[in-house]
Chain A
Amino acid sequence: MDLRFEKIYKENSKYVYNVALGMLRNRDEAEDIMQNVFIKLFEGYGSFRGDADIKTYLYRMTVNKTIDYMRSQNLHSNKLELIEQPGPQKTDSSVSLLDALLDRLNPELKAPILLAEIGGFSYKEISEIMNINLGTVKSRINRGIAKLREYADKEALL
């Protein structure tokens, strides 16, 4: 594989994966979507203008594909299932807590929070990735965070 691709993968894969995982709560599906997104990126690499363009593409495709998948599967965000951890990987308490919190949010509220917290994007960048205006980003993030805080207080989790 081209060294440039290896570098892009190394720099972005963990965060792209965790955004997908945060949305879908399923390792196999998250890895599937992530793999397809990177393949599409590398196959069309010549058309990108720079690193920022690549990052925007990666996360936009990831968010869109996860939301599409969830709609097709008719998944509801109020299920309290934790992510299954097949194999030797341990599930520590902080991961379970995060899963429980994220389960409280619908995809539209979850996506911008994941992009902010995991992707490290600013609100302006999130508005470009999700193709929504800045005011909507602020509104969704603050509503989502308020829900998370409310649940965390109720369950005395933080």
Chain B
Amino acid sequence: MIKFAAMFVFFFMMAVIAFYTFLLIVSLVQLRRMYELDEWEPYEEMLDVSYTKPVSILVPAYNEEAGIFATVRSLLSIEYPQYEIVVINDGSTDDTLERLKRDFDLVEMKRVIRQQLKTKRVRAVYRSRKFSHLFVIDKENGGKADALNAGINFSSYPYVCSIDGDSVIERRAFLKVMKPIIDSDEEVIASGGSVRIANGCDIEKGEVIRIALSRQPLVVMQVIEYLRAFLMGRIGLSRHNLLLIVSGAFGVFSKQWVIRAGGYAHTVGEDMELVVRLHRLIKETDADKKIVYVPDPVCWTEAPESMTDLRKQRRRWHRGLFESLWLHRRMWFNPRYGSIGLISMPYFLLIEFFGPVVELFGYILIIISLILGDIYIEFAILLFLVSVLYGSMFSMAAVLLEEWTVRKFSTVSDVARLFFYSLTETLWYRPLTVLWRCEGIVDALLKRKGWGEMKRKGVSK
């Protein structure tokens, strides 16, 4: 019995390892080609407004009086020829709106809003007297997705991007993310960029001045996790237009396509779900469109520093993953959706979603085998070894990949710390996140019937 279970876990993990290896190699080749390419030259031409497409930046805000000023301010100084910032106050109960009115000298304005997506009632629209490209929408509370949809209705430009209150956007983020769209004559309808962890970096006036590694082990592990997810997974998948679900990423979407897809939906991870829906729409309408991913870090986000917060985040992400997958269950193993239905969906379902269950099972088996002792010790060793391969080794490889290609960390000690921390991943961090993700599955299963309740969640995390 135990032998059978151990073998199942073993072969599952070996299959996943094979897939990861494939992704790693694709990413390595891709990144290495562009190694040392000038940071500025490829983007210079995009500063000319006659070639570039303007972007509407949507900032949903629910009770964010403390952070909203800094977020908006950092957006005011980004480098992009034409853009507007639309803050959507989602019926905050604190002084978010008052704060905005005061800080940015808002006056009410008349604007005909095209109701292309249904949203809660918009109470008023404001414009800033200080910055002609800053607008604020005041609406009744309807959740983050509803706020974003209201922002889309109001926005006047063909591309939209949503930004969370707790992120810092690089000044050239939009040039980098819009490049594939412009380059391809808009064949690319959504483009995402890497997200990195801001903890430990020096940030001044909404700009990352120096990239460094936090002293907190929990944050270091998250940095490794992000490197692994973004450098390995996303690039590998994006290369073959297989990229599906991106938790906590930064992306620009073609407004026209978002509207065609029905706008943002009330799920835990709106962005993730939207990407799946866009892929689905592309396949269903047989359109020659793409969703791509840019390896450059463009968005810096604050990672949770305590176990409690991290646990909450991981549970929520995993529930979001489940919702996105479940909503589109018709695509699972469905040849009609081509590689998305046959590769991406199964990958996210079996590896990303069910992987933690198998892993947890493996850890339990290790403990049981150790207790039983005798011949079972062999199973314990085997499972431990394979999980070292599965967890630590790929993380180590991701750190090396970073250093070999993107090279954002400036000091030797940061790289060394990343490398040795990733060696310990299997021993503590991995089991913890596996456990939390399994909790997320339980959450999702228990609340499955009633995810309509999520609607009133509000915007803030």
A and B pair up: no
- Which positions in A face B, CB cutoff 8 Å? none
